[in-house]
């Protein structure tokens, strides 16, 4: 492998996907924050989808609310570990590498919110027939899709090479 090959693999398509997710996430949050006060709701598809402006001071579904600094540190540790162990985590799989890129972009997107705003900006609000999903954002979506693909890949696609015989 050429010098810097591992960095090139990380900063190739997975890195571009991470940057795309991060950019889309931060741009959408900037629009929400600058255009709507907290608590705003706009119906897009009646009975199914709204755009809202809510703040989440915790993690998923508001757990660990009030521990933004701890969630920020955990997010930073997870991101750094994913970068350091990137090659080992994806084992040469393009799907796994892209899933890691999506998750990394989402982690950094929410990390920026936690440190800059002391809460995460959520704005996508879905509901159907009395069921209501907590509001979320692009970063949350990228993390969920990335992690789901990694889990599926680990069960059906991961192939670990046998150790070399001596």
Would you name the residues annotated as active-site residues?
122, 140
Q: Which two tokens stand for residue 146?
A: 């990335």
Question: What letter would DSSP give residue 131?
Answer: E
Sheet arrangement for strand 41-45: 41-45, 49-56, 120-128, 131-132
Q: Which of 32, 28, 30, 24 is nearest to 53 (CA)?
A: 32
DSSP secondary structure string, 132-144?
Answer: EPPPB-HHHHHHH
């Amino acid at each position: 492998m050429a010098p810097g090959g591992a960095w090139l693999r990380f900063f190739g398509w997975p890195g571009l996907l991470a940057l795309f997710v991060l950019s889309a996430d931060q741009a959408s949050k900037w629009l929400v924050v600058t255009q709507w006060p907290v608590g705003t709701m706009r119906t897009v598809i009646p009975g199914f989808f709204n755009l809202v402006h809510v703040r989440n001071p915790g993690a998923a579904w508001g757990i660990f609310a009030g521990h933004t600094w701890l969630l920020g540190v955990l997010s930073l540790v997870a991101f750094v570990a994913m970068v350091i162990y990137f090659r080992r985590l994806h084992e040469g799989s393009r799907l796994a590498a892209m899933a890691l890129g999506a998750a990394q972009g989402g982690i950094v997107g929410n990390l920026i919110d936690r440190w800059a705003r002391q809460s995460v900006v959520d704005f996508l609000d879905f509901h159907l027939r009395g069921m209501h999903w907590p509001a979320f954002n692009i970063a949350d979506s990228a993390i969920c899709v990335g992690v789901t693909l990694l889990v599926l890949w680990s069960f059906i696609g991961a192939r670990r090479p046998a150790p070399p015989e001596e």
